[in-house]
């Protein structure tokens, strides 16, 4: 598709960042992301790898410069490297600036070299604890040693690794400095994320889990000198540098600080639904025009533009009244983080 006028939402924000969930399946069952006994989507509802190529290429033709692949766990999708290799062609032409992924790390040992060959230079790994027993508890099915080998493989392949740690009250509060020190020793950046009210997870108490990153930052300031950084990575994180170690720490704060004013991203699910905001239910169906018009992407591009015209100003997650106000019903794995 030839480049057309860029995607601009109603609040004059250019949409240059697409997050794509390639599967709702995962080999972990993290307590803040999935129920233990998940019912996954039937295969016919999922976009094929060829359809994912078409829709991502359409977005790139409309000005998207950054593509982040998510899941579920993206690397458990069969033949997923076919898709990564296909997207690599847009890096080669210069149409795409960055191809990256967020992963639980379980399959990185297998795929790190192939991902680097496809053009992936950065990878985000979700890791909330360095304690093997606690890791097994929070992921339900996960094995910490396997993830650690994956992180080693990613670094050895030449990729820059960033750890994403969800701040969970009563769970990893006591590991704050352990996580910081471990990342500093390995030259790995670290971002903390506030737990978000998404999905019906049974007995999981979101209000009880919520640990404000304002408190995390205050705790860090007791030991380190924090220097605010102006940089943005195209995502919602705000960064500081720890003067003593030189490392970069990010904070993603959908609850204690709404980051919507600079939002430049939308999210595509593995079924072809486009969510214009992570914290809202409004969405657009891109699968229908994709499948109805296999010979042309023009109707798909029109559907994308119509969806961007409905992008809201922001979300309204709120725990201040001791309940998960602004909660959305879908699981995080459905939207892709």
332 vs 318: CA distance, rounded Å: 17
Query: 63 labelled as ligand-binding?
Result: no
Query: 270 labelled as ligand-binding?
Result: no
187 vs 119: CA distance, rounded Å: 21
Do the domain assignments include residue 7? no
Do the domain assignments include residue 115? yes
> Closest Cα partner for 54 from 286, 255, 325, 235?
286
154 vs 113: CA distance, rounded Å: 7
73 vs 282: CA distance, rounded Å: 24
Contact 147, 129 (CB under 8 A): no
Do the domain assignments include residue 9? no
Q: How many CB atoms lie within 10 A of CB 5?
A: 8
pLDDT tens for 254-279 read 654 455 777 889 999 999 999 998 76
Query: 262 labelled as ligand-binding?
Result: no
Query: 93 labelled as ligand-binding?
Result: no
Do the domain assignments include residue 209? yes
pLDDT for position 282: 83
Query: 263 labelled as ligand-binding?
Result: yes
166 vs 279: CA distance, rounded Å: 17
Mean pLDDT of the chain: 87
> Closest Cα partner for 179 from 294, 6, 171?
171
192 vs 97: CA distance, rounded Å: 25
Query: 56 labelled as ligand-binding?
Result: no
Q: Residue 287's pLDDT band (boundaries 50, 70, 90)? A: very high
81 vs 114: CA distance, rounded Å: 7
pLDDT for position 327: 44
Distances (CA, A) of 152 to 53, 110, 318: 29, 11, 37
Do the domain assignments include residue 162? yes
Query: 122 labelled as ligand-binding?
Result: no
What range does the domain containing 313 cover? 17-335
Query: 183 labelled as ligand-binding?
Result: no
In the chain, the percentage of residues whose pLDDT exceeds 70 is 85
Query: 65 labelled as ligand-binding?
Result: no
CA atoms within 13 A on the CB side of 177: 8
Contact 80, 22 (CB under 8 A): yes
Q: What is the mean pLDDT of residues 153-175?
A: 95
Do the domain assignments include residue 1? no
Q: How many domains does the chain have?
A: 1
Helix (H, G, I), strand (E, B) or coil at 190: strand
Q: What is the DSSP letter of 42?
A: P
Query: 64 labelled as ligand-binding?
Result: no
Say whether pLDDT at 318 is over 50: no
Do the domain assignments include residue 4? no
Query: 195 labelled as ligand-binding?
Result: no
Query: 158 labelled as ligand-binding?
Result: no
Q: How many residues does the chain have?
A: 337
Say whether pLDDT at 106 is over 70: yes
Tokens of 74: 């993206």
280 vs 328: CA distance, rounded Å: 7
Query: 248 labelled as ligand-binding?
Result: no
Beta-ladder partners of 20: 69, 268
Give the residue, 212 or 79, on which the prediction is more confident.
Answer: 79
Please report, for the domain that includes residue 244, its CATH number: 3.20.20.70
Q: What is the mean pLDDT of residues 124-137?
A: 95
């Amino acid at each position: 598709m030839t480049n057309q006028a860029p995607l601009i939402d109603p609040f004059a924000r250019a949409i240059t960042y697409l997050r794509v969930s390639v599967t709702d399946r995962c080999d972990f069952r993290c307590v803040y992301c999935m129920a233990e006994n998940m019912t996954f989507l039937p295969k016919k509802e999922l976009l094929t790898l060829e359809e994912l190529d078409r829709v991502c290429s359409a977005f790139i033709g409309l000005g998207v410069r950054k593509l982040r692949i998510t899941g579920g766990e993206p690397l458990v999708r069969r033949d997923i490297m076919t898709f990564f290799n296909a997207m690599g062609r847009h890096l080669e032409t210069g149409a795409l600036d960055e191809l990256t992924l967020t992963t639980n790390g379980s399959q990185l040992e297998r795929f790190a070299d192939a991902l680097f060959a496809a053009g992936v230079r950065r990878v985000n790994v979700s890791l909330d604890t360095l304690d093997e027993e606690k890791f097994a508890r929070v992921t339900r099915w996960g094995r910490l040693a396997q993830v650690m080998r994956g992180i080693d493989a990613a670094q050895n392949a030449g990729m820059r690794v960033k750890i994403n740690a969800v701040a969970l009250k009563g769970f990893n509060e006591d590991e704050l400095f352990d996580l910081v020190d471990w990342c500093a020793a390995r030259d790995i950046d670290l971002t903390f994320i506030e737990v978000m009210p998404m999905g019906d997870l049974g007995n999981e108490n979101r209000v009880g889990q919520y640990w404000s990153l304002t408190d995390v930052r205050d705790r860090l300031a007791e030991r380190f000198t924090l220097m605010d950084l102006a940089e943005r990575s195209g995502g919602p994180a705000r960064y500081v540098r720890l003067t003593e170690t030189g490392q970069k720490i990010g904070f993603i704060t959908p609850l204690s600080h709404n980051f919507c004013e600079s939002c430049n991203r939308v999210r595509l699910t593995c079924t072809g639904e486009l969510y214009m905001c992570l914290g809202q239910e409004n969405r657009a169906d891109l699968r229908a025009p994709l499948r109805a018009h296999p010979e042309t992407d023009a109707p798909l591009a029109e559907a994308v533009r119509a969806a961007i015209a409905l992008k809201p100003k922001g979300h309204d997650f709120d725990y201040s009244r001791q309940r998960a106000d602004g909660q959305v019903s879908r699981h995080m794995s459905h939207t892709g983080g």
